[in-house]
Structure 1
Amino acid sequence: MRVTEKGQVAMPKEIRDRLGMGRGSEVDFIASKAGAILLKIETGGADPVRTFDDWASRAQTTVDLGGMTTDDDIEWLRGQRDDLDAR
């Protein structure tokens, strides 16, 4: 994609369809060292996410680990290790 003289970029239809975006939809960008992240702005909801730290702080409260510790989670993901001595 190229940026026009007016600073515009056309968003591919596949992306617009996947995000449920149409004429008048609002977006925002988060700049990072690696580039930029496009965010769809949901109107009427919470304030838009402006930084990665803002997103991380919001996402932190959405995870329910069900009391699992990090070690429990790793064992659940990888399975029990038969090669370790159960002492």
Structure 2
Amino acid sequence: MATATLRNNGQVTLPKAVRDALGVGQGDELEFEVTEAGTVEVHGLKKIRSDQAWFWTPEWQEGERRASEDIAAGRTTVHEDADAMFAHLNGDD
């Protein structure tokens, strides 16, 4: 169990184990969620550039997960060149 002391202006220094568990570092933000039970959940937030936010949508992440599973299972195809790859993707081969 980790503890911290509340200082002036509501400041708290998070112990390293807590920062590591949240996956946060200097400059990252924290989100505090008060549950109906009265407990507080803390979530680390990472800033993402708006032109890269598409990568973190649930749909894209699901595709990434499926692709990783396919690669791990050896379900891949090697093509001789880009034209062959696009022909395969288009169903022309």
TM-score (norm 2): 0.41
Highest Rg: 1 or 2?
A: 2
TM-score (norm 1): 0.43
